[in-house]
Amino acid sequence: MMEQIKILIDLQEIMSRVRVLDADKRRVPLEVADLKGLFEEREAKFLATQKEFEQLKKDRRDKEREIEEERDKVEHAKAKLMSIKTNKEYYAMLKEIEQTKRANTQREDELLAILARYEDAEKRLAEFQAEVDDVGGRYRERMVDIEARMGSFDKDIAVLDEKKAEVVKRLDKGLARRFEMIFDRRDGVAVVPARNQSCTGCHMHISPQLFNLLQRDDRIHTCPNCNRILFYEAPVEEASGK
């Protein structure tokens, strides 16, 4: 049975290294989380300002078109004045021209307000674009590095997975399944030595009978408390033959 225990210890070492690599791999993207958040924040501001800018551009075109159309109406009305026969029609036309001019003056004031907002949005858009380019550039550079590191982790894990598969072939299938279940449930520690009549996994005392059975090394035993697989570890003086 000691041979199977040795294989389990090797398997535990391999799976523990995979566990560490997996944990390190999961932490890597967190290193760039702040930069990613900053990039997304800047990008959101840029997109919102871009939308505002495009709407102001449309409003500007619409207002300029309205003003031009009303000016054309005024010029057309002035041309018609010469052909009007009665004073009543003449003064009615003058009144219409004056009303159109006043309305256009208001439109021009509205256009000036739009232009001021347009120029402000244009300035902010350029600033946000520069920030997006700067932060985005730094973010992409970090991601290139992170992707390389992630690839390295994947490669190392793949090598260990191959070793694990080879080691598992040397184990009884039932024992291998039981080991992996314990490994997952006991935070990566499934095989531990029994020392001084105690389980070194949970540090609970084990019975003298079980401790004696472990020393016989004729079958697999588990801790009654934590269910980890146990093996006998001789005291230093006993192991050295003193």
Q: What is the pLDDT of residues 133-166, one digit of tens each?
A: 999 999 999 999 999 999 999 999 999 999 999 9
Residue at which a domain ends, from 168, 195, 218: 168
User: What is the spatial distance between Cα 38 and Cα 137, in angstroms, rounded to a whole number?
Assistant: 12
105 plus 213 within the same structural domain = no
176 plus 162 within the same structural domain = no
Domain count, the chain: 2
DSSP 195: E
CATH assignment at residue 41? 1.10.287.1490
User: What is the spatial distance between Cα 234 and Cα 180, in angstroms, rounded to a whole number?
Assistant: 26
In which band, very low, low, confident or very high, does the pLDDT at 84 lie, cut at 50, 70 and 90? confident
Of 4-13, 86-95, 222-231, minimum mean pLDDT range = 86-95
Asked whether residue 26 is domain-assigned, the answer is no
61 plus 155 within the same structural domain = yes
User: What is the spatial distance between Cα 52 and Cα 235, in angstroms, rounded to a whole number?
Assistant: 78
**pLDDT tens profile 170-188:** 999 899 999 999 999 999 9
Residue 237: per-residue pLDDT: 56
40 plus 154 within the same structural domain = yes
Asked whether residue 14 is domain-assigned, the answer is no
161 touches 14 (CB < 8 A): no
Asked whether residue 1 is domain-assigned, the answer is no
95 plus 185 within the same structural domain = no
157 plus 177 within the same structural domain = no
Asked whether residue 99 is domain-assigned, the answer is yes
Residues 218-228: what's their mean pLDDT? 94
Helical axes 33-81 vs 87-168, angle rounded to 10°? 160
Asked whether residue 23 is domain-assigned, the answer is no
Residues 39-49: what's their mean pLDDT? 95
**pLDDT tens profile 93-102:** 888 888 888 8
Residue 157: per-residue pLDDT: 96
Instruction: Write out the residue range of the structural domain in which residue 214 sits.
Output: 172-239
Is a pLDDT exceeding 50 seen at residue 240? no
Give the sheet arrangement for strand 191-195, strand by strand.
198-199, 191-195, 229-232, 221-222
In which band, very low, low, confident or very high, does the pLDDT at 238 lie, cut at 50, 70 and 90? low
Q: Show the tokens assigned to 207.
A: 């019975």
